Amino acid sequence: MSIRERLSGNEAAATAMKQINPDVVAAFPITPSTEIPQYFSTFVSNGQVDTEFVAVESEHSAMSACIGAESAGARAMTATSANGLSLMWEMIYIASSLRLPIVMSLVNRAVSGPLNIHNDHSDAMGVRDSGWIMLFSENNQEAYDNLLMAHRIAEHKDVLLPLMVCQDGFITSHSIENIELLEDDKVKGFVGKYSPEHYLLNNKEPIAVGPLDLQSYLFEHKFQQAEAMRNAKKVILEVSQEFEKLTGRKYSFFEEYKMEDAELVVVCMNSTVGTTKAVVDDLRNNGVKAGLLKVRVFRPFPTLEIANALSNAKAIAVLDKADSLNASGGALFEDVVSGMYVNNKNVPTVNYVYGIGGRDTTTKDIQSVYTDLKEIAETKNIGNPYRYLGVRLVNNERRI
């Protein structure tokens, strides 16, 4: 029997970490993820976990210590947000290049500057090409579930890549919701033991980690990483299926919400999905064939699967909670449209950059997107593909 609880997103993440009981946690506080190491330190102080908690002096050191610990043969975890992740950036790449299945809880927040502590996805988007598996979570339940699946995916011998579980700062991290928890022993059984093949603390086989890797080798090592990311797709599905058997909760690369006959489709991630579901329900009640595609697995990006899922739509809006500042589209948009193009699916698609710096995104905002999509579907004219939602503009037409 699962346990019914009411937890905030941060509590959910910390609870998952407690049940996983990693060997080492190294973390540095930063809003809005601070509570995770706080809750976790309490578990340590009260002897509820076997973990060595390293209260580092910076996020750069947090990731460095996680790398040291994971290389040493330990399960290492951390949590951060925004500028914390920015400071880790160098080590983020090193963690994945060393093929270390470190797991991070990333509570998404706007990256400075100017300084802002509220939610958007600019932190996650800054590391999207760093070789980490990236799972996004609509709500507290998913933040918890994704963390429970994380090690199984990351530590798989065909993968061996670090993994981050994203959730929206404040919106889910600080909102208390109903949640179903697994019993400790079930988590223990599901997550399993970590037994790396090679590790620093093995005195019988000393190893060397992190070479100078010159022209004759770096390309191949990067190819291996790319291959591991490709392999992760299969592993993610296998682990998700096993998790479903255990919990009844179904996960895949993405969730298709009322997509069977959907003509007007929104693609988005994390908490905005909840808002969008409410709008879709409303539109469906009014006879509008609205649908939603919620991306859960952003890295590896399920290009073909998404292209197929969207192929019957008449108009698509991709919502990006980070501006790529590239005089072009946001990151999710670019991934979706390039996937569509490569797979020969031609559906009018527009991009909305929205919710920057914690700007509220209401059902009314999302409704306006579907209204725009209806017009695009009818006129076949996409107008400006690079749109903004919720920014104070005099004229939201061509601004590029």
Residues that bind other proteins (CB under 8 A): 23-24, 26, 50-52, 54-58, 60-61, 64-74, 76, 90-91, 94, 97-100, 160, 198, 200-203, 205-214, 216-217, 220-221, 223-224
CB of 181 to other proteins, least distance (A): 24
CB of 111 to other proteins, least distance (A): 21
Q: Which is nearer to other proteins, 187 or 267 (CB)?
A: 187
Which helix (DSSP H) or strand (DSSP E) does residue 53 occupy? strand 52-54
Cβ 161 to other proteins shortest distance, Å? 10
Least distance (Å) between residue 21 CB and other proteins: 9
Residue number with CB closer to other proteins (226 or 393): 226
Contact status, residue 319 vs residue 274, Cβ threshold 8 Å: no
Instruction: Closer to other proteins by CB, 222 or 364: give it.
Output: 222
The CA distances from residue 76 to 38, 332, 349, in Å, are 17, 29, 41
Residue 111 gets which letter from DSSP?
P
DSSP calls for 132-198: -EEEE-SSHHHHHHHHHHHHHHHTSTTT---EEEEEETTTTTT--EEEEEPPHHHHHHHH-----SS
CA distances from 283 to 94, 276, 366 (A): 46, 10, 11
Residues 165 and 142: their CA atoms lie apart, in Å, by 9
Which is closer to other proteins, CB of 189 or CB of 210? 210
Q: How far is the CB of 386 from other proteins (least distance, A)?
A: 36
Pick the closer one to other proteins by CB: 216 or 286: 216
Query: Which of 209/246 has CB closer to other proteins?
Result: 209
Nearer to other proteins by C-beta: 60 or 284? 60
Tell me the pairing of strands 290-295 and 254-257: antiparallel
Burial of 174 (0-12, 13-18, 19+ CB in 10 A): middle
Cβ atoms of 270 and 310 closer than 8 Å: no
* Minimum CB distance to other proteins, residue 27 (Å): 12
Q: Cβ of residue 222: shortest distance to other proteins, in angstroms?
A: 10
Q: Would you tell me the crossing angle of helices 140-154 and 184-191 to the nearest 10 degrees?
A: 40
